[in-house]
Amino acid sequence: MTREELLQISKPILFNDVMVRASLDEILSDCPKDEVIANSFIKAWAVINSPAYKKIACSISGGADSDIILDICQKCDTGGKIDYVWFDTGLEYQATKDHLEYLEDKYQIKVRKYKALKPIPISCREYGEPFVSKVTSEYIGRLQKHGFQWEDDTFDNLFEKYPNCKTALKWWCNLFGDGSNFNIGRNKLLKEFMKSEPPNFKISKECCEYAKKKVANAAIKGEGYDLNILGIRRAEGGQRISVASCFSEGNDGYDVFRPIFWYKNEQKRIYEEHYGITHSRCYTEYGLKRTGCAGCPLGNDFEHELETIRQHEPKLFVAVNNIFRESYEYTRKYREFVRTMESDECEGQMNIFDYLEPEEENGEE
Ligand code: SF4
């Protein structure tokens, strides 16, 4: 798509045409020679300066992607319409908090801080700890509420026995269709593991609801923002990327714009170098690849993260181990179970080939 075409779809260029283009041109003339980055500025300029939006929130996390969207917003927000908001989950790195202060100082802005509706330690105690993924935690939590015994049976038989948790039973019985994220089969051998070792602690995804989703919704909606800007990139993949484009018209009374949705790692690197973006110590000193709730058990690499926390933020290390102890232990057992089953399977295959006579192997007499 050409720049002219993009300008065409940029509704906002409805106001003072000459001034806008002059300033946008200034940004573009200094911008790295990268089409994705240039397009992101054109689109961001158009959306942020659109008269359709009176009050805009930019949700920042202190992470690397959020550093870039903050910089883009600062360059494009000619009318000072953007408020920067941060949701404190209660399990934040000190390095993240320090970085927010650095950003406030660098851009001369005030970051509005919102506390979790229920801090993570409290929701974990009340509802349960997260395990494997949010989808998995949700369905396990529902089954636990109905006293499910982690048994293997047909859906019809189980539904008769547990009539009030149809969707969770469909997850357990892999009835959401081939390859669906909503089947237990999405996680290798999880069903076999849970049958052999049922969980003896409460599992839930509610910490995410109370520390992130509900608090963000309440703040954005409650404060009357009509646009929320997020630092989400498609290239990140994963379950959190459930949208197909950089812009969504919201059902909750506000729209959502993702300025760096199309950035790949290469664009991030170019942007950071060109504009001298400094990230938090979580990246530069601790060597983490991403930030967020410290020690979240849903992270694939939570063991490495735990070791990093132990070295750099020892008090936080004690806290996360208290909050997520059972989930860490259960996840370790699950991983060990998968490793053992896979190596048994492997040995089994080796045995077959080791002990087969050549004639038998190829079926010849
Ligand atoms: S990211 Fe992890 S620890 Fe943080 S709220 Fe969500 S599930 Fe809980």
302 C-alpha to center of ligand 1: Å?
12
The structural domain count of the chain equals: 2
Average pLDDT over all residues of the chain = 88
User: Could you tell me if residue 62 is inside a domain?
Assistant: yes
**Residue of 89, 124, 135 to test ligand 1 pocket, by largest number of atoms within 8 Å of CB:** 89
Tell which atom from ligand 1 comes closest to the C-alpha of 124.
8
Q: Are residue 40 and residue 178 in the same domain, yes or no?
A: no
45 vs 292, residue with greater confidence: 45
**Tens digits of per-residue pLDDT, 220-266?**
999 999 999 999 999 986 555 567 889 999 878 899 999 999 999 99
- Min mean pLDDT across 15-29, 115-129, 151-165, 197-211 is at 15-29
Q: Are residue 185 and residue 229 in the same domain, yes or no?
A: no
| Radius of gyration of the chain measured on its C-alpha atoms | 25
Does the C-beta of 165 come closer than 6 Å to ligand 1?
no
**Tens digits of per-residue pLDDT, 63-94?**
999 999 999 999 999 999 999 999 999 999 99
351 vs 362, residue with greater confidence: 351
**For residue 362, pLDDT beyond 50:** no
Concatenated DSSP letters for 301-337?
Answer: THHHHHHHHHHH-HHHHHHHHHHHHHHHHHHHHHHHH
Count, residues in the chain: 365
Average pLDDT over residues 341-352: 67
Q: Which residues pair with 230 in a beta bridge?
A: none
Q: Report the predicted TM-score, pTM, of the whole model to 2 decimal places.
A: 0.84
User: Could you tell me if residue 320 is inside a domain?
Assistant: no
Q: Are residue 101 and residue 141 in the same domain, yes or no?
A: no
Determine the Cα–Cα distance for residues 31 and 41; give it in Å rounded to an integer.
9
Whole-number pLDDT of residue 292: 87
User: Could you tell me if residue 48 is inside a domain?
Assistant: yes
User: Could you tell me if residue 118 is inside a domain?
Assistant: no
Q: Are residue 63 and residue 104 in the same domain, yes or no?
A: yes
User: Could you tell me if residue 142 is inside a domain?
Assistant: yes
Nearest to 54 by CA among 225, 247, 221: 225
Q: Are residue 21 and residue 86 in the same domain, yes or no?
A: yes
**Tens digits of per-residue pLDDT, 349-358?**
544 334 333 3
Q: Are residue 143 and residue 49 in the same domain, yes or no?
A: no
Q: Are residue 158 and residue 239 in the same domain, yes or no?
A: no
Does the C-beta of 298 come closer than 6 Å to ligand 1?
yes
List all residues 6 or more positions away from 277 whose beta carbon is below 8 Å from its beta carbon: 67, 68, 71, 271
| Token couple for 314 | 């020892």
pLDDT band for position 343 (cuts 50, 70, 90): confident
| Token couple for 292 | 């967020």
Whole-number pLDDT of residue 349: 57
Tell which atom from ligand 1 comes closest to the C-alpha of 212.
5
User: Could you tell me if residue 192 is inside a domain?
Assistant: yes
131 C-alpha to center of ligand 1: Å?
10
**Tens digits of per-residue pLDDT, 129-148?**
999 999 999 999 999 999 99
Q: Are residue 99 and residue 15 in the same domain, yes or no?
A: yes
Residue range of the domain that includes 144: 132-196
**According to DSSP H, which parts of the chain are helical?**
3-9, 17-30, 35-48, 64-76, 94-107, 120-127, 134-145, 155-161, 166-172, 190-196, 206-208, 214-222, 265-275, 281-284, 302-312, 314-355, 358-361
Q: Are residue 103 and residue 234 in the same domain, yes or no?
A: yes
| Token couple for 11 | 């509704």
The domain boundary residue, chosen from 196, 215, 232: 196
Whole-number pLDDT of residue 240: 53
CATH number for 13 = 3.40.50.620
Determine the Cα–Cα distance for residues 124 and 307; give it in Å rounded to an integer.
22
Whole-number pLDDT of residue 359: 33
Nearest to 88 by CA among 60, 130, 57, 123: 60
Cβ contact 260:69 at 8 Å:
yes
User: Could you tell me if residue 238 is inside a domain?
Assistant: yes
Per-residue exposure over 111-143, b if at least 16 CB sit within 10 Å of its own CB, e if not: beebebbbbbbbbbeebbbbbbbbbbbbbbbbb
Residue 283 backbone phi and psi in degrees, to 5: -90, -50
Cβ contact 79:49 at 8 Å:
yes
Residue nearest to atom 7 of ligand 1 (CA): 208
Does the C-beta of 116 come closer than 6 Å to ligand 1?
no
User: Could you tell me if residue 287 is inside a domain?
Assistant: no
Concatenated DSSP letters for 132-152?
Answer: S-HHHHHHHHHHHHTT-----
Determine the Cα–Cα distance for residues 312 and 320; give it in Å rounded to an integer.
14
Q: Are residue 70 and residue 155 in the same domain, yes or no?
A: no
Q: Are residue 53 and residue 13 in the same domain, yes or no?
A: yes
Percent of the chain with pLDDT over 90: 78
3-class secondary-structure state, position 10: coil
Q: Are residue 95 and residue 139 in the same domain, yes or no?
A: no
